[in-house]
Amino acid sequence: MSEADTVSRDTTPGGGSAEPNRGDPKAFWLSWKTIVVGGRSVAYGEAGDGVPVLFLHGWGLDHRVYKRSLARLVATGVRVVAPALPGFGGSEPLPQQESTLAGFATWLAEFLDALEITDPALIMGHSFGGGVAIVFAHNYPERVRGLVLINSIGASAWARRGVTPRTITQRPLWDWGLHFPGDLWPLGQARRVLPVILSEAVPNLLREPRAFWRVAALARGADLLGELAELKRRRLPVVVLWGNRDRIITRDAFEEMCEVLGTPHSLTIEGSHGWLIADPDTFGEVITNVVEIAARTRALDGNHRRVGELASLATRLLRPRSTGAGSQ
């Protein structure tokens, strides 16, 4: 990433600081940077101050696709860090033997070390990024204050034929390909969303084709029910968000994830797999309440007797409600 790509949100033309215009999402856009992690270059975006929030993007994309949604997240008063995962967005890929979900989680710990982020972070993951977030929370519990899974991989269910469940490993590759384009960019939003996604997905494929398809295989076969059950046992605060028209992460998968987590705080959004990209305003509305929940966990660190207080707050803030398209 070049210095010309950097967008600063707090520098005035005169060189002083100014309070961002909260009505203008561009005032909270991330600055794009690079850092070396494990001897390999990593691209990432960063903005804001406060509780650290780590956002992990989905397969085939990178952190820049989410810039409007992440601006809404920064506006809630947190420090957002959004890396391009290895093999995407200009970040160098992991060696083949490390290209596992556990390998991505280890890399993420090294990335936080490189940025000297020692406070427990709120980890948010969309799609494949949700799977990385689950494994990271499982393997590095001391570094996680809470988890937000957005149309995330990790459940084993795909669909049911009568009373017989069918697993994700039984899902044909052609079925993934059939639903992926329409679910990522709904027809009514394709003119606006498609150019943004293709501007990142195509270069990712051309730069690192092997890493691109290795990660696809990881996402397609990820069964993280054991890790999710352990997170439930540890009583880690988890919020699960799901778009009700998602045919990549099916309703059966969403419901299985919620069941294994023990009825976590969940919310169904009107939208498809990429709803947060297509509708950053709805994402901003939902995530404002999620961040408030996470901020309360600072006072609860290490005090499991008061986890009930957090659950009560989350129940109020994430009560089911209608969420529509705010940025059509």
CA angle 145, 147, 150 (to 5 degrees): 160
Q: pTM for the complete prediction?
A: 0.76
Each residue's pLDDT tens digit, 249-298: 889 999 999 999 987 788 899 888 888 888 888 999 888 888 876 666 55
CB 273 within 8 A of CB 151: yes
Residue 211: CB partners within 8 Å, gap ≥ 6? 86, 87, 88, 93, 94, 99
- pLDDT-derived band of residue 113, with 50, 70 and 90 as boundaries? very high
Run of H or E residues at 255: helix 251-261
CB 240 within 8 A of CB 257: yes
What mean pLDDT comes out for the span 52-60? 90
76: Cα separation from own chain's centroid: 16
Higher pLDDT, 159 or 52: 52
Domains in the chain (CATH in brackets) are: 3-317 (3.40.50.1820)
pLDDT at 187 exceeding the cut of 90? no
Residues in the chain: 328
